Structure 1
Amino acid sequence: MAETTLHIAGRVYDLRCRDGEEAHLAHLANLIERKARLAQQNTPGLTEVRTLLFAALFLADELNDLKREAIGRQQTLALESGDEPAARALESLATRIEKLRERLVAASPEA
């Protein structure tokens, strides 16, 4: 197991992860950090917990939009072309997005 340090919303989080996943977790932490800064800019005076809550909500909203878009595209492609390989590719994309959501949840500071 590898160890990495993440910086999110002014705090430092030491985490263990699989070997080689340090850069990926740092990237995810950067996404969360950007959303946390956005929350703090839009609503000054947020507590740490509320900052992270809003960051999580922003990310969940984006993920939800991407899932809806992927499903919509999948349905459109299936209706327009009957192209089974394209439909499978979109389904695979939706699965990857769901796995990303699970990783975000697993990498959250409370995990």
Structure 2
Amino acid sequence: MADTTLHIAGRQYDIVVRDGEEQHLARLAKMIEEKARVAQRSTPGLTEVRTLLFAALFLADELNDRRRELAGRQEALALEADDEAAVRAIEALAARIEKLRDGLAAPAASA
């Protein structure tokens, strides 16, 4: 385990993390710090708790947007996949129709 210090909203937080996770946590803390600054600029005089609350809400809003975006992409991919299945089914039906046509044409040709 490793000790690291995070700086968020003008405060210092000493925490223990798994070895090798220090840089990852520092990047996450930087994201929170950026949102905390936005909250402090847009609403001066916020308490520490409210600053962190707004930072969390901003991040949750971004996460929600990304999840909706991802769901839309997954839905589009599912539709594309369905199109491929439909194309295969239509091609199989076309092949069957041609086979039936050839079967019907053969007795007429021999008559």
Q: By the TM > 0.5 criterion, same fold?
A: yes
Aligned length: 83
Within a 5 Å distance, the mapping from 1:12-91 to structure 2 comes to: 12-82=12-82
The percentage of aligned residue pairs carrying the same residue is 75
Aligned-pair distance for 1:22?
A: 0.1
Structure with the greater relative contact order (CA < 8 A, sep ≥ 6): 1 or 2? Answer: 1
* Paired letter, 1:49: V
Gaps of 5+ in 2: 84-111
Query: Does the residue aligned with 1:60 lie in a helix, a strand or coil?
Result: helix
In structure 1, list runs of 5 or more residues that go unmatched.
Answer: 84-111
Equivalent in the alignment of 1:9 = 9
More helix by share: 2
Task: Please give the alpha-carbon distance, in whole angstroms, between the structure 2 residues aligned to 1:66 and 1:31.
Answer: 16
Counterpart code for 1:30: K
TM-score normalised according to structure 2 size: 0.72
The one-character-per-residue Cα deviations of 1:5-31 (angstroms, maximum 9, x if unpaired) are: 000000000011110000000000000
User: What RMSD in Å do the two structures reach over aligned CA positions?
Assistant: 1.2
